[in-house]
Structure 1
Amino acid sequence: MEHRKGKKLQKWVIGAAAAALIVTGGCSNKENAADSSSASGSSASDTSSEKPTEIVYLTTGDVGAKPLVPNDRIIAEIDKRLNIKLTVKIAPESSYDKINVAIASGDIPDVVTTQYPSSSVSQWIKDGILVPLNDYFDKLPTIKAKLDNGLQWTAVDGNYYGYPFVSGAERSNYTVQFRQDWLDKLGLQHPKTLDEFEAALKAVVEKDPDGNGKADTFGYVTNKPGDGDLLTGFDFVLYAYGLPYSDYELNDKGEVIPRFEHPAFKKGIEELRKWYAEKLIDPEFVVYDRPAKEQKFFQGKAGFMDGPLFRHVSRIEGSLQQVNPDGVLGYAPPPAGPDGKQGMATVPKTALFTAVTNKAKNPEKAAEFIEFMLSKEGRDLLELGIEGIHYTKQGDKITYNEAERAKDGFADNGWAHPLAWGNVSWPIDENYLPQTEPNIDRARDSVKVASQYFVPSLITRRTDVEIEQGKNVNEVYNQYFVDLISGKIDVDKGIEELGKKWRKAGGDEILKSVNEEYQKQNASK
């Protein structure tokens, strides 16, 4: 949704990155609501005499989305079609902590989107905060079909307490990205091996590719992990040295062990330690979120970064060219290690979970709202808008009315409404690109490239113990990882200490649970 160029783009990206508070949007303007009603071809609730059901929806957003606007005609159209009065509260993308704080404080919405599986969702289910959807399945054909298609593992005692959207299981857009214009200036091809990658980083640091006469450019920048997540921005180096799985590994006895006890982990750490010592890595990555990392790239402070592409190609290159009109975005497969091994994308074990809470006065109507966002009717509205206002169609050709779309928060160049992504869907999973996307070939090619380098998980699902203890052990891992690559601690001593503290923080219980899960997994094959 966020593919766009132009002067407004960078200002919006910076503004979205700086947003720390939940933004609330809704439609209360009767005149706007009437306008959208007259333009719609749907009349599902037009003649209803029932009072509209008030629904408050709290969700995480999309880093590429524009903010919701007052008197939004898309929300007014949703209201009309479903006979509801919708208020939307959007937290920044991946800000699940803000969602959890809201729920914990008693500010419970009618519908909520958060991360799954998580200890928060498990607790909400135990506390009766989430309402099972099973009783409403006759009104939820899209949700029911998706749950029946491989999501049965999300049921708790036969009940489905929400719709779990697992993104990126088969298609990836996670790549190594770089300043192609800088590599051209330096006479370098995109690096195919770790040695070539290191040489390219050195050239970026030492040969002043931006021509400002200052040694102010780092080679590679990544960002800190989300709350409770693993730091993964350097994992492509571990995979290049032969780390076979993305979560756990096996010892000689066939037992599940932590990833840092595999020999490839030590080799990867030693490589990264060398890069860090040579100032090839931006040392401040530990405080950057994804937008801040991207700003470093846009501003010419780093030549390489990791991150998603597909729909982001135009957004990233457009933002880069706001600072440097000659800037060109490049991307490539992850570099190969000494034995030719390489990997970057991983199969996720998490989902975006959208559920109805016990606060909903009409839980069936709230569930129908989730169904609408997933249905073809809902997708068409959120992606295209209202026909005759936001777009026109002749055969298969769509003409976007950008002036009208801008009034309702649609992103530029045919991209979608703020509610389109970040809750029950992402563009990559629907292979969605607007007809106006200027970099459509590169966007599709980035997925083709990234999807060749999936690294499998040893354990296909998260255990209950992992959900409960995962945050604690991940914090231990992340701290030692940073200390190891920054040279604050000896490699062998650090890995040994990491093993002890990781196990003490909950790792022993986790290993027991994942070993049991691994045995069950193998027995079912």
Structure 2
Amino acid sequence: MRRGGQTMLKNNKWLALALSGVLAVSVAGCGNSENESGAGATGTNKEDKKVKIVFLTPGDGAAKAINPGDRVIAEINNKLGIDLEVKLVPENGFEKINVAMATGDLPDIVTINYPSPSLNQWISEGLLVPLNDYLPVMPTVKEKLEKQLSWTAVNGKYYGYPFIEERSNTTVAYRADWLETLGLKVPQTLDELYTVLKEIATKDPDKNGKADTYGLTGTKSTGFNGSFHFVLYGYGLPHGDWVLDSTGKVAPIFEHPAFKQGVQYLRKLWEEKLIDPEFLLNDTQQREQKFFQSKVGFMGTPLFRHVNRLETSLQKVNPQGKLGFMAPPAGPDGKRGMASAPKGGLFTAVTKNSKDPQKAAKLIEFMLSKEGRSLLELGIEGVHYTKAGDKITYNEEERAKDGFATNGWSHPLAWGSVVWPLTENYLPQTEPQADRAKQSVDIATKNLVPNLLNVTTAEEVEMGSVLGELLNQYYLDMIVGKKEVDAGLAELSKKWRDQGGNKVLEAVNKAYLAQQKK
């Protein structure tokens, strides 16, 4: 059984084959190519030699490769006195990182998913260097850790920088042109949403003479399906992770009355054929295609950078199509929410094999600092861009030589280890509909649902997959009528506890009590 990508390596032949998946996408960080670019030539004296820093990290899926001679990497080398080699694995390619770490040939800096069994194991085995001693040279990291992320310390030690997103871009998108066609207002409540979904499913909004439209769609999920969580939050589910029972103890969210009410609402939508019957077969692309192809009217979806892309794609199929987005509808008591605040993300750490832990720590700091963000987002002024007042002109020809994405987007090292564009609310000045994109983030962030606990216990990490799948099975079976709601919830409570839930509840109740004492 694999946990978070940890794999027992059977023999050296298999290990070499697995590791090749990492090396195939590794990129030399241009430490030896600086002479070719004319920047930062390395001297021959021992004191002039730059420290080699190998950085193993998942990249941004939309980013290009880093090639030899990259001038941004050369600039980082000059500023920090290092010889940086970046080894990129595909976005979310954490198993490849686990395999690489298992060889014992550790990089200087590594990024892994947080929380995860892998990270727990690396800390317990002493593979990561605490950053506490280096925080004086990491002012940006120090401020974030001490003011916002102090709860991520393990026995008082920070074993890396945990990037946890504080904003959201997920909210409810809809076919605004359909609402105009049917003479409907944007729904503000769950009752109004039901009425609008009914109209979409029965009144032929695309005017093709066929009864082939559905109100709402979602996507499949490997865990507790989040496509319709806004309904549960509308009925008053107070937290995204846990709830308190009548005695003040931590309990699973499905034992809160709002969960039952939400499932009953969704079951009504299902029985009246207002939900896309194939939503569990959809991946993100298929969900969007149904939206573009006039099969569905509403969907929960990430927006921000995607606002212009979604509307442009819609109008390629339907020239009169309009993308609308809204806050999640309110429930009977006026409560609403869209997504739970994240407790996990990415974790970038210095390993015990680092030749110079302080310089490795300085690289993490640089990528988060104002100076580092400017370099990675814009490049070198006068080379990759020019600036007149607040107006930026992107030199796309020069940017392309150093792996920058097109249309003013960033360097490959900009995202995917310590920050994402959403965190920075970053859009290039070339971005169409930037105002609408940022508006969608404001709406989504305003409707983030808080968590009861700010930590994820080791027991949750260990049992989360099994318990999440069990919850998901019952949740969906109750929505589609395979199980009655009351009986299904009773069965779920028993099975969930028997299959590890009791162990998890013991741990999270201890964590909750400790949190209350702080």
Q: Which category describes the TM-score, using the shorter chain as reference length?
A: 0.7 to 0.9
Partner of 2:131: 133
347-356 or 282-291: which moved more? 282-291
Query: What is the alpha-carbon distance in structure 2 between the residues aligned to residue 436 and residue 413 of structure 1?
Result: 6
Partner of 1:180: 176
Query: What is the alpha-carbon distance in structure 1 between the residues aligned to residue 85 and residue 447 of structure 2?
Result: 41
Give 2:171's aligned amino acid: T
Q: Do residues 245 (structure 1) and 239 (structure 2) align?
A: yes
- Consecutive unaligned residues of structure 2, counting only runs of 5 or more, are 1-20
Partner of 1:201: 197
The answer on whether the counterparts of 2:292 and 2:317 sit within 8 Å (CA) in structure 1 is yes
The answer on whether the counterparts of 1:110 and 1:356 sit within 8 Å (CA) in structure 2 is yes
Match of 2:109 among 108, 111, 116: 111
Distance 1:316 1:422, change over 3 A: farther
Which protein, 1 or 2, shows the higher relative CO under an 8 Å CA cutoff with sep ≥ 6? 1
- Consecutive unaligned residues of structure 1, counting only runs of 5 or more, are 1-20
> For each residue in 1:423-474, what CA deviation from the matched residue of structure 2 results, as whole angstroms up to 9, or x when unmatched?
2112333232333333222122222322332322222322332233222211
Give 1:500's aligned amino acid: K
- Shift of the alpha carbon at 1:163? 0.4
Distance 1:213 1:386, change over 3 A: farther
267-276 or 418-427: which moved more? 418-427
- Shift of the alpha carbon at 1:481? 1.4
SS in 2 for 1:462: coil
The answer on whether the counterparts of 2:304 and 2:422 sit within 8 Å (CA) in structure 1 is yes
474-483 or 101-110: which moved more? 101-110
Query: What is the alpha-carbon distance in structure 1 between the residues aligned to residue 172 and residue 241 of structure 2?
Result: 21
Partner of 1:13: none
Distance 1:105 1:252, change over 3 A: same
Q: Do residues 397 (structure 1) and 391 (structure 2) align?
A: yes
Partner of 1:410: 404
Distance 1:180 1:47, change over 3 A: farther
TM-align CA RMSD: 3.0
SS in 2 for 1:24: coil
Give 2:501's aligned amino acid: G
- Shift of the alpha carbon at 1:281? 2.6
Query: What is the alpha-carbon distance in structure 2 between the residues aligned to residue 334 and residue 371 of structure 1?
Result: 37
384-393 or 203-212: which moved more? 203-212
Query: What is the alpha-carbon distance in structure 2 between the residues aligned to residue 288 and residue 475 of structure 1?
Result: 18
Partner of 1:122: 120
- Shift of the alpha carbon at 1:175? 0.9
TM-score (norm 2): 0.85
> For each residue in 1:242-285, what CA deviation from the matched residue of structure 2 results, as whole angstroms up to 9, or x when unmatched?
22222222222222221111111111111112222333333444
Distance 1:67 1:291, change over 3 A: farther
151-160 or 24-33: which moved more? 24-33
Distance 1:273 1:57, change over 3 A: farther
Distance 1:496 1:385, change over 3 A: same
52-61 or 329-338: which moved more? 52-61
- Shift of the alpha carbon at 1:386? 1.7
Query: What is the alpha-carbon distance in structure 1 between the residues aligned to residue 33 and residue 136 of structure 2?
Result: 32
Structure exhibiting the larger radius of gyration computed from Cα positions: 2
Q: Do residues 458 (structure 1) and 457 (structure 2) align?
A: no
SS in 2 for 1:177: strand
Query: What is the alpha-carbon distance in structure 1 between the residues aligned to residue 57 and residue 282 of structure 2?
Result: 23
Query: What is the alpha-carbon distance in structure 1 between the residues aligned to residue 315 and residue 104 of structure 2?
Result: 45
Match of 1:167 among 154, 165, 171: 165
Distance 1:26 1:102, change over 3 A: closer
Q: Do residues 356 (structure 1) and 355 (structure 2) align?
A: no
SS in 2 for 1:164: strand
Give 1:116's aligned amino acid: Y
- Shift of the alpha carbon at 1:31? 11
Give 1:24's aligned amino acid: V
Partner of 1:26: 27
Distance 1:135 1:287, change over 3 A: farther
Match of 1:154 among 152, 155, 161: 152
Alignment: residue pair count: 493
- Shift of the alpha carbon at 1:236? 0.7
